[in-house]
Amino acid sequence: MLLSGIVSRPLLASIVLALFLIYTFLSNIGIKHRSLHTQTTATLPSANLTESSGIPPYIWEINFGPPLNEDNANSIASWITKNPGYSFTLLTNEGGDAFVQSHYGSKPFIRDTYLELKNPILRSDFLRYLILAAEGGIYTDIDVDAVQPFSRWIGDHTKVNAVIGIEYDQRSDPELARGMFLPMQLCQWTIAMNAHHPLIVKMTEAVAQAIHDLANTQGSSVAKVMPEKADVLLTTGPAKWSEVVFQYLSSITHSKVDHQNLTGIKQPRQVGDILILPIDGFATGVPHSGASRKVTANTMIVHRFHGTWKQDPGNEKSPDQKVQSERVPE
């Protein structure tokens, strides 16, 4: 394991070893955000590309916040043990800057937008798309547990170059659930993608432009943009991601693809080389969308919803988040 602003290690360890390494190494380097003078990266394993999937065996996480806690460490360990042979990379703020400078020199609009951006929420959202566009693999938030190995996400499907889960499905409900902007929204707390896939490239471009549009609306610069919660969701978050995904699916099928094509699905559905998982795939436990309350055979991951920025004022979580934050038994 080689350490700097980017922390990398092969995923071959047991949970005990993973926790030991996480607490011993990451807490000293990645979490304290030490100034990055040089960048060291580990040699990643050769991509294990098969007829089923072209998605390389890399797992990526981001931490711009406080030091990792025990729950975060347990979540990270779940990815390590469920996916042996995969590399794991945790990017800090400095590591994110180094990554973007290294990979986006030929795209100055995208590079400079990211580097100028200071808001950590917008930055974290933007960086996950930039990582996947440049390197591919699986991006996941630090409060997400792996329940099944990636190979089971794909199942019997072939030629899969992206795996996306449903976050919210309005179905026949008369109104949108609180905090939702579209009748169907797609997860961006976990995304699997082949590098340079046109969908994720399109997303990086759309987000960069949306950040500038938000700054212009506020009469501000990118560095000083101050997003409200809705701004985040619509500029870099799941509403923006869902909009771009549906636009892309419509373009490759030459017909309109939206929530009506996917509402209520119980099994994964493949459109082109993109596999869409039903609500339980990435969102088991949410109190809407017909999701199961406990882990099922269709559950690939569990999101613990430990992010603090979505909490309501007064240090009170919304009712939805109280339910979503409960540990879902395996």
The owner of tokens 């990086």 is 204
> pLDDT higher for 255 or 322?
255
> pLDDT higher for 88 or 67?
88
Q: What is the pLDDT of residue 1?
A: 35
Go through the chain and tell me how many residues it has.
330
Structure tokens at 93: 């703020």
Q: Strand, helix or coil at 7?
A: strand
Q: What is the pLDDT of residue 233?
A: 95
Tell me, what amino acid is at 306? Answer: H
Angle between helices 93-103 and 120-134 (to 10 degrees): 40
Q: Which band of pLDDT confidence, cut at 50, 70 and 90, is reported for residue 235?
A: very high
Instruction: Tell me what the mean pLDDT of segment 126-131 comes to.
Output: 98
HEC profile of 152-177: HHHCCCCCECEEEEEEEECCCCCCCC
Q: What is the pLDDT of residue 44?
A: 33
Instruction: Tell me what the mean pLDDT of segment 40-47 comes to.
Output: 33
Is the separation of the CB atoms in 71 and 78 below 8 Å? no
> pLDDT higher for 115 or 41?
115
Instruction: Tell me what the mean pLDDT of segment 122-127 comes to.
Output: 98
Model confidence at 195: pLDDT above 60: yes
105/90 Cα distance (integer angstroms): 22
Degrees to nearest 5, angle at CA 99 with 208 and 275:
65
**Residue 301: enclosing H or E segment and its boundaries?**
strand 301-303
Mean pLDDT over the full length of the chain: 82
Instruction: Tell me what the mean pLDDT of segment 270-298 comes to.
Output: 93
Q: Strand, helix or coil at 192?
A: strand
Q: Is 163 exposed, middle or buried (CB count within 10 Å of its CB: 0-12, 13-18, 19+)?
A: buried
193/161 Cα distance (integer angstroms): 6
Instruction: Tell me what the mean pLDDT of segment 1-8 comes to.
Output: 42
Question: 6-33: per-residue pLDDT in tens?
Answer: 554 344 334 434 444 544 444 433 333 3
Structure tokens at 278: 């039903």
User: What residues have CB less than 8 Å from 39, skipping those under 6 apart?
Assistant: 4, 5, 6, 95, 98, 102
Which of 164-168, 179-183, 196-200, 212-216 is least confident? Answer: 179-183
Q: What is the pLDDT of residue 248?
A: 98
Question: 147-184: per-residue pLDDT in tens?
Answer: 999 999 999 999 999 999 999 999 988 888 888 999 99
Model confidence at 143: pLDDT above 70: yes
Best-predicted range by mean pLDDT among 9-13, 40-44, 87-91?
87-91
Is the separation of the CB atoms in 189 and 242 below 8 Å? no
Q: What is the pLDDT of residue 176?
A: 87
What is the torsional sign of CA 35, 38, 43, 48? positive
Model confidence at 119: pLDDT above 90: yes
235/220 Cα distance (integer angstroms): 15
